[in-house]
Structure 1
């Protein structure tokens, strides 16, 4: 493989961990990070009163959101299931 294209620095780092664990794998000669475009006009959120977390997995702090919601009952919290469950 001549080139690997990653969509984030995080994905590039995960790939490096993979190649370190499996040295017989074909490591690309070069790599490049190309972030997906973000069109601000299409992605603008309207301000609201809720504290929101999307993809509430443990790595992202879903347990922290739950703890905060229990400690601050007067604040609205929204947990959104994302693409990764």
Structure 2
């Protein structure tokens, strides 16, 4: 395989772990991360009062959101559980 194209650094890392078991001759010689397009007008969120993190894993700063929520109790925080990877535990925060 000459080139592998991934949609995120996380996917690239996971794929590289997966193919590491295979002989070097069948592993991609090069890789590239191409992020999917975002059309802001179509994906515009409604303004609100909450600080929100989607997929609160450590790599995205889930631990930072937890620390902020503990330090600023008057602010509403929302953590949306992701579909993959280790998630930061927000139990005990109200």
User: When the two structures are superposed, what TM-score results if normalisation uses the length of structure 1?
Assistant: 0.67
Describe the superposition over 1:6-62 as per-residue Cα deviations: whole angstroms up to 9, x where unpaired.
Answer: 224565577678888977352434544432222222211112111111111222222
Report the counterpart of residue 46 of structure 1 in structure 2: 46
Q: 1:59 to 1:12 in 2, by over 3 A?
A: closer
> Which range moved further: 8-17 or 72-81?
8-17
Kindly report the root-mean-square deviation, in angstroms, between the aligned alpha carbons of the 2 structures. Answer: 3.0
> Which range moved further: 24-33 or 43-52?
24-33
Report the counterpart of residue 17 of structure 1 in structure 2: 17
Give ranges in structure 2 of 5+ residues lacking alignment.
Answer: 86-94
User: Equivalents in 2 of 1:61, 1:38: separation in Å?
Assistant: 21
User: Equivalents in 2 of 1:75, 1:28: separation in Å?
Assistant: 47
Deviation at residue 73 of structure 1 after TM alignment: 0.7
Q: 1:55 to 1:9 in 2, by over 3 A?
A: closer
Q: How many residue pairs were aligned?
A: 85
